[in-house]
Amino acid sequence: MAELRPPAEGIVLTHFIVSDDVERSRHFYTEVLGGTVVFSSGPLTYVALSNSWVIINVGGGPTDDKPAVTLETPRDPDRVSSFLNIRVRDIEAVYAEWSARGADFLTPPKHHQYEIRCYIRDPDGHLIEVGQTTDPEGDWSPADWPSSTAGGEPE
């Protein structure tokens, strides 16, 4: 497994999810979405997905640094306050590939004013938007943008 290090400059943005079954979620983020496990110890797992990480861990009660906060999976997956947003170069290809791997999309990709997008849920009900810009001047698809597949290797 790769060693995790903080960046030399700036920050690294990760997405932390609470899972009722970390192994099941690890499988989804690696086998369905194409990520790579870079760290795993007990219930804590880091998956590299493109140019970021998804941190998967079990829920739990308050701690000394979050004394009134309990971490749990979504109670109602149809009521969401935040979600993971994945931008891809070719949404139709990603939709076909991830569907073949078992992703259950809420709808096929839908065209909107400046993007094509669709949504899936992970095994714990966390919502994930998958989108592609249709704006040729948009800032979502620079030429050197990493691949949307495993480990962030350029296409």
Residue 30, classed as helix, strand or coil, is: helix
pLDDT band at 5 (very low <50, low <70, confident <90, very high): low
- pTM, full prediction: 0.80
Which of 154 and 8 is assigned the larger pLDDT?
A: 8
In the chain, what are the domain boundaries?
14-61+72-133
What would be the CATH architecture of the domain defined by 14-61+72-133? Roll (3.10)
Report the pLDDT value the prediction gives residue 148, as an integer from 0 to 100. Answer: 47
How many CB atoms lie under 10 A from the CB of residue 141? 14
Tell me the C-alpha distance between 39 and 93, whole Å.
28
Judge whether residue 51 has pLDDT over 90: no
Tell me the C-alpha distance between 32 and 102, whole Å.
6
Report the pLDDT value the prediction gives residue 13, as an integer from 0 to 100. Answer: 82
The tokens for 116 are: 């094509």
Residues 54-73 pLDDT 10s: 999 999 999 999 999 999 99
Tell me the C-alpha distance between 48 and 129, whole Å.
17
- Torsions phi, psi for 86 (to 5 deg): -115, 125
Residues 104-149 pLDDT 10s: 999 999 999 889 999 999 999 999 999 998 876 665 545 555 554 4
